[in-house]
Structure 1
């Protein structure tokens, strides 16, 4: 069968002859037999010596006592090839097979059947699972018919909807018949075919007929059809309402009976013309006896005429009202101070009121005015921007208003500054129908604005001069305070020497005077140093970069460690940001605020200083809060003024410059500083830094 000799067969393992795709399944069957399955039947493929593929149907018996498997194979290659050919044909026709083994209660689905149900190739359904694929409205029908087929052998041929495994609803044609042996049903088998496209076409055809009738009955127009003899063959409800008479009464009667034969009535002649010439006709006719205007459309065909009659009385009335409204519009445009315009977008017709002649001296033939007439009068430098505003306003279907400012050329060639306000009238789809508006001459206002602009430029120049003056004053303060230190240092030095050498030779009053002089010199020196620092604010050229506020606070606390420890103070903060700026001014700000918070403490209460930050979209806000003595409300506006002290030097040391320096530093960084305080409770300084 395979073309090998006995020696060749015995010299190789069985899997040497197996088809590569059947190795795993065959090994699985052998394993089942090793594990106790004495009888086994399966099908696999072998490769002949010539390289051909044979399909073999194996019946196997295991004799465990002899440790042997006895196998008999039947060559079913021809059957398999026929099955494959049939399967291919069925795939092309999209016909699948199914087979229910009633005795074993199992079901077989062919590959096409599985494709139709959109299940995986290894899916093996039960009978119940197969029925559950049918749409809910079809489950009872298929169940009853299948049971009758199984019980009585009644074959069936049905068209029913199913729901595939992927959730799609499709239509299938299923045929079934039963096989009985000795009066017992052994199997039920049949075919299944996807007929969704055919079913949809049938349903669409039926739907189209129903829709046609529904449309003719639901349209707002009267509709009737007549044959070439003038006999009415169709009559819808609107026609019945318009002329009177039901469909049953009118169908079969003559169309001429509907139309009075008067000399004003042209409809009879139009109907005869359409029948004779096969010509499509559209016209409007006022029917005196109906009291209505009708728009009539006649469409000839090989079998007669289709006639649509639309009641346009309201439209005709509206047109008359519009005519009257336009007349009033023209009267208004003649008396207003503005130049009224009306642009019909679709027809590109532009109406200009008499204001164009009064304001700009323009006289044009109304028939020649278009959108481009206006466009050519816009100043060339303003044209692109002005057209862009118009186009964007029209493009936005939700926009109904338009506003523009530009220069408009008068008839004498000069230009006027104008404002142009308009309203966009759109159809229900949002497309523009008309733009209506008015142009105002604002030349005088523009001249006034130009004079204001010139004044602002002069003020800005003056501000720059003041800035230069301020810078020179700061430089003067810096030089003056620096030069004052040398003579002050000499006075302080000689007073100190006088105190040391003659302390024991002078009385207590003299020593006190010397002490006052030395102390005054020291305070004067501190004031000069503070003045130097104040004058330096804004003059330092520190490199701008990312600054960690966490690091700044740590450095401040390290520098102020002796003061913090001596006052038993606690300084704490949460997570701090990294900001863009200069480190030195930020260090000075926090150093002054923290040292003040520690210095102005309540007697017997350890100072507590809390620093926090809040992020806003464009800036950071920092707060320095203490539990100190607080500040009276009437003093809050003084604390940032240079040399303003709220306490004597005996109570709290200082020169009154520290907070003035802080305010100047914060403002130079583009921020603002404020203070909130409750006497006896504490103070909160808040300042902002731009991101």
Structure 2
């Protein structure tokens, strides 16, 4: 820099004036100001001369001032009002960009950008008016106004300035702008908090007044329910206080004024509108040169708090009254085991007076309990912080107690009930039950005792024979129906027993139903009970016995089934007899008629041949019928054939192989899917015959012009194996044929294919013989579906 200034001076005749740092011979830095110019002769610089000035102190002062200006929390500047009415700013420093949102150079070039932000906040006219007022009164300028930053954020600024009036008419304000946004927010929050908390301030100047004028904030005037224009005075304000509050307040104010004794007390007053209120009043004072100059303080409306305290006090009194009057013993201990409450019943049961326990550790007084379950349970409550109910025996007092411990933040609340009599009764009952159990072990019946009032149900150990070893002998009424009752019978059981209980005139109940034992077997039960009622007829207890009648029931079912089978066989026999008599009559009649012709004389040879041929034809037809009837009788009589596990897939494959030539000849497609049910235990020859007859039927009664499709599938539905045989053959007119589809010698397409009308009759007979049922869905020229169902 120095070389450049010297070069320009010598070459371009430019004088110089600059500031720089130099290092002295003693290695010390100092600031200097150098001023110089050149001396030229005939255009040539002959010498350079000038001066050096040590400006270190001036520079240090300048740097300090600059640092101070840059670190001010606001903006320092001069606001200039020119004689032509225009305005501008100069010497801007401080947090300019943070507070106004613009660079210093932009503002110095165009102050309007700042005024536009003030105008956007709505305070432009107010700020201008405050400046004009300061000019007119030649007083300091002070204004609080809103400012919108370029980002849109709304801020609050505080401006202060001192005007200087120059000789040429220019007015200069030495000014500072502070961002007081947070302070304003705090003021609003404080005002809101004071309003919400109903806190107001008061003060009284003891020096600069002759009278007893006071200052009350707006909140205090609201508390006293006076108008905001009300002028409070010290003596006059005492009229609002009632009861002893007036004297106490007067005394407290006197001591505060005379001796500076501060106070913080609660007073009761009557507002200007006649409402009673409680207030908290704080009084303090200020001293100057040993003279008390001012008293001040605050009022707070604590009416709601006092009402709450009164409610709490009454609630505590009510609680104590209840705790002292209840039949249960009650005491409370804190987290250190110190007794904090001990009611009268606790005194009676535990044998210690309240005075002996309050404020003392419980386990010091009852130290002999620290090795018992009683003490362990309390440690458990304190550790888990969970409500606990338990029973304990106190040997020294020879009593049984039912104890409930309720943990809280403060400690444990304990309820005690003397259950000695009940416990002794339970022991006696247990002994009686033991005797009762011995008796019930001698019977297969399960004895039960239902306490309807206490909702418990006791059952003898024999219940395990019914529901299994997991069955509880004692359970609540809500758990009663969780045992393995048959789902179809459970609603009936509930309805029946509750209906009996609800009927005041009913004293006995009996019902037969089913249950499942632990192996899943269905048991048949007959349950009988006697209902015990109180004087009002309300059922309070029910005792009874469950008897296993499975063996008798199964015999009964077998008998009923056998009877149904006999009845059905008789019906079938009647039908069979009718069929025999009807179908055999025709060929027999033909034979008899022809034989009668043979008895005539002189029969021509030609006629004789005809008669012989007709007799042979009728005899063969009769023989075929007898064979068919014999096959049917064989089906009905061979039920004793051994059953075996038959695979549907293997059976279908065997049949396919046996008639494969015919299948290919008819261009038929047969598919099967037995994924849902793959096999069953049955008579294999019967099932083979059923499959064979149904497949043969589909091949026989196909549609000539349509490729034959046969589908065989299995399903497992509601514990039943379902076999479906579906084809797209000729179909059957079920409306026309009605119930004759499975009849003997019933043919539906006699002109279409050969047949005797025995196949479907045999299928139905075999299906029913092995315990199944068969049905049909069919539509002419669309196909047929045979549905066969077998129980699993």
| TM over 0.5, shorter chain | no
TM-score of the superposed pair, with normalisation by structure 2: 0.35
TM-score under structure 1 normalisation?
0.39
Task: Indicate the structure (1 or 2) with the bigger Cα radius of gyration.
Answer: 2
Higher relative contact order (CA 8 A, sep 6+): 1
